[in-house]
Structure 1
Amino acid sequence: MHLVDADGYKGGLWCLWSDRFKQVEVLEHGEQFIHLQIESIDHKTWEMTCVYASPRPSQRRALWQSLTDLAGRIQGPWCVGGDLNATLLSTERQSARETREPDRDFYRFIDSVSLTDLGFIGPPFTWKSIGNTSRIDWVLGSERWLVATTHRYMPILLPRSLEANYGLTEKLEKLQQQLWQELEKALLQESLIWAQKARSEWQINRDKNTRYYHTRANGHRRRNFIGALKDDSNAWIYDPKLIHARVLSFFTTLYEEEETHRVQLQCSVVFPPIDTGELNRMGCEISDIEIKDAIFHMGALKAPGPDILNALFYQSQWAHVGKSVCDLIQKLWR
């Protein structure tokens, strides 16, 4: 057995093999693959790469490049199998929310190293979540693999008893949906924790004489530093005093208004008056519903107010703090 540890909720790969093989040696591994050399009891040797690809296209591109480099060092039969998180045809992915194009990087990888899809037997899709189905599990073989194997195709075999409903029984279907909902909730909570932690660190350490403060201050200084400017003759000036004078002159001229005589515009547009009912509504007190709607339309993780609490706190705790917030706003309104 060989494993690649997960990074929090992301990644992680286990590779287990039967004792029917004479020898299994791990030649190389990365965050998304484990590459093995296998010798069977009849002394035949081949290489296999077990893959669990990232759902992020940028990380998958790094995987395809690693496997392309690996293919250049393989002399014998080679097959690649696992969750490649990619499709070749638009018919291999169905979504209720959006239409996704096939993975062109995946296609280019297969074409560049001359791999062939070994096919499969069973349901047309190998993965399903809420509103999405796709075929993202693959077994691919090299030309030497196809020549060496007794059958041209060695398909993935899914048990017939699980074929209904894309390979899941009704009980497993409900369990999978429940697990996906819990995972999505956990990932959301994790992202909110990190977002809150980043803002809390800024609130606590921003004005203290700490390494964090100096790092942020120096970063702002580097981004905002002006080392040179061009003058009116298009020549570069580097002297800080001349740069200061140049900036001052530019903005003084930009916002200075010339004394010119303006001709009074003749406007024939007559704006309709506001009736008494509308005026009364504009001057009436704010209702609790209006206050709640305004707070719930705010960005949840936007910059917090003086109390160091952003809108997410009030939205999630409205049942406890809503009355106090409404009373305070109505008091200020009066």
Structure 2
Amino acid sequence: MELIETKGGPKRKCDGISENTCMGKKLRLLSSSAENNESYKLELSGLGNLWSVKALEKVINNEDLIIVFLMETKSNREWMNNIKDKCNMKHGLIVPSEGKSGGLALLWKEGVTVEVQTYSQSHVDALVDGGAGIGWWHLMRFYGNPDTAERSESWAKLKHLKGTSTLPWLTIGDFNEITGASEEGGSDRPRQQMKNFIEAINYCGLRDLGFIGPKFTWIYQCEDGMQIQERLDRAMATPRWINIFPKAKLFHLTSSVSDHSPLALQMVQKQRNKKARKTFRFEAMWLRYQRCEEVVKKAWEEGKLTSSGSMLGSCLEKCWARLEAWNKTEFAHVGRRVSEVQKRFEWVKLQPPSSKINQELKRTRVELNCWLDKEADMWRQQSRLNWLQSRDRNTSFFHAKASARHKKNSIEGIMDANEAWH
């Protein structure tokens, strides 16, 4: 186990539960977390493939996350360090997987003060400095034991951790349990299991934060074509924490690479900056389609026939116009198309399970991943970084690099074979 940018500590016993304990190195920040949009990303199961890493980067960019929880990473320390760097996270705690199971990570950006208290394969307990007017509060990521026979040990640990701090407390994670029949679809949980979970919640004085988005956070595909859907992932907090962050909202996102829905918790209302209108640029992804060459040839011939001055300028103008029109018709702006397919994917997941819906879910997942690849190609071309590798995806760093070159990417003229400028 490794705690990045922190000092290690000794082990201690917690009511018979052996846990690794470490006090985090306090990070001095330029701005307090209370002044920024604070969000948490939770649960992308299995980060050993590039699809999952790409999906994680996409969520972090879209939601402007500053603290990230990852569970069931199924990855070693070296690979998780690479992911931390890709996601532009400066600090973090990484707990490598045990063989092909387990593994977790708590990552946070520069500008956040986090002190990790204890951690294990099933939890991370930390303190977060909310800055002036808020102060420190208690943050815990929790993972309920998937084995029902050992679920009681999870609730015992939850109750114990509740008593380790008197600060306002937020806990978020995959609890592997539901609180009632309304949180399941296609399964039949024993009432005593749910009762034990509710008892642990009440003992800790926690309140469910509710959610926005799809009702269920976990889907299991049965061999007979039917599905089991349940709300296993949630965020809960004490009344004191809720009073400090009354506008906190939990979003159930969708993922094409995991059977669990990512959770994004926004502490304050997000503010979106208006984007400036983009100028024309040739996209490398167009070259994947034969139609691109046909559009250019036809536009070039039109330019030669309609030229009233510079033939080259007329041909280029026609190419620009025809390629833009083709792009809008064929691709409808890659980012917009990704959003549209993502929304359709979310809608399909909300439909009652059936063989037809299951097929549509698979088809939409494949389509979404293809559009995400096209979007990554677009930003890879614009970034023009020689060291960009194929597994590097659409991150804010490459967006910034591409935008920084905007003023240098214009062509003022072309010299022909006779050394004449056009």
With the length of structure 1 as denominator, give the TM-score of the two structures.
0.47
Question: Which protein, 1 or 2, shows the higher relative CO under an 8 Å CA cutoff with sep ≥ 6?
Answer: 2
The structure with the largest helix share of the pair is 1
> What is the TM-score when the length of structure 2 is the normalising length?
0.37
